[in-house]
């Protein structure tokens, strides 16, 4: 196994230094985007990276600013700040097409990154997308009206979470950035192949969100896989095998 605690760093003038891991190899380069308050040391990211390294496939992992081993304060970051982190890393390390894999909030960023790359470089830049319990627009459907009011009035919402010993903190800046970049209300002009994996027993992101995303995407090549018994993490051995198989098929064209 590779050592997730030994990253490289991308220095950026005026922005936090970003921790990343990169294995060189054949294209398209696979880029894994973790979820909210998550990092590149998670099981899915590490398994995908180790598979890519063994297969000679290019792969990139990163910690967003304020997360994991990257510099910066978590509370200072917005959704678009993290999109900028991803685009900076792609520009620095990934020549040619990319396959973007996004887990939970990373699935929202996956779409925003793909839209930015397609607009800037053309549709050939994005060879495919793989969402794992993708959570676009979760600032809209993921909070009650009372929780939204707390975020806007007090500047942050602090919640306990089963996924970390640290509470989830949703800042006003992140919330407002999310609300300004919602995607499910209209057509999402991406035409690349898209694969959406979602656990049927996901208690955090309803499987309906993947169905709504499938309907919103302009692409004619979208497949939604509902995983029986799967939870939000989709990190069982069989789930990770499904993820790797899905990415491998896209990478093979």
Kindly list the catalytic residues.
104, 202, 232
Name 222's bridge partners.
Answer: 194
Burial label for 176, CB within 10 Å (0-12, 13-18, 19+), is middle
Give the dihedral of Cα atoms 200, 194, 36, 59; nearest 10 deg: 120
Kindly list the distances between the CA atom of residue 7 and the CA atoms of 22, 60, 175, 250, in Å, as whole numbers in the listed order. Answer: 8, 11, 29, 26
Rg (CA), the chain: 17
Report which of 76, 91, 73, 80 is spatially closest to residue 20, judged by C-alpha positions.
Answer: 91
d(Cα 99, Cα 103) in Å, to the nearest integer? 13
Length of the chain: 253
Whether residue 116 contacts residue 87, with contact meaning beta carbons closer than 8 Å, is answered with yes
């Amino acid at each position: 196994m590779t050592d997730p605690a030994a990253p490289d760093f991308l220095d950026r003038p005026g922005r936090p230094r970003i921790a990343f891991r990169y294995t060189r190899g054949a294209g398209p380069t696979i880029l894994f985007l973790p979820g909210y308050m998550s990092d590149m040391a998670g099981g899915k990211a590490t398994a995908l990276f180790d598979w890519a390294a063994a297969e000679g496939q290019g792969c990139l992992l990163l910690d967003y600013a304020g997360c994991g081993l990257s510099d910066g304060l978590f509370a200072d970051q917005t959704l678009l700040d993290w999109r900028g982190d991803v685009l900076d890393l792609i520009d620095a390390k990934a020549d040619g097409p990319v396959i973007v894999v996004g887990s939970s909030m990373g699935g929202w960023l996956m779409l925003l990154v793909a839209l930015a790359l397609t607009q800037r470089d053309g549709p050939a830049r994005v060879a495919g997308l793989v969402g794992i319990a993708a959570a676009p627009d979760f600032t809209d459907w993921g909070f009650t009206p009372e929780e939204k009011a707390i975020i806007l009035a007090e500047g942050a919402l602090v919640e306990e979470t089963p996924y970390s010993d640290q509470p989830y903190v949703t800042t006003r800046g992140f919330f407002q950035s999310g609300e300004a970049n919602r995607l499910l209300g209209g057509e999402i002009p991406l035409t690349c192949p898209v694969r959406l994996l979602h656990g049927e027993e996901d208690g955090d992101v309803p499987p309906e969100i993947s169905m709504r995303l499938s309907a919103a995407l302009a692409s004619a090549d979208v497949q939604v896989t509902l995983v029986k018994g799967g939870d939000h993490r989709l990190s069982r051995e069989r789930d990770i095998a499904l993820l790797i198989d899905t990415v491998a098929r896209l990478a093979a064209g």
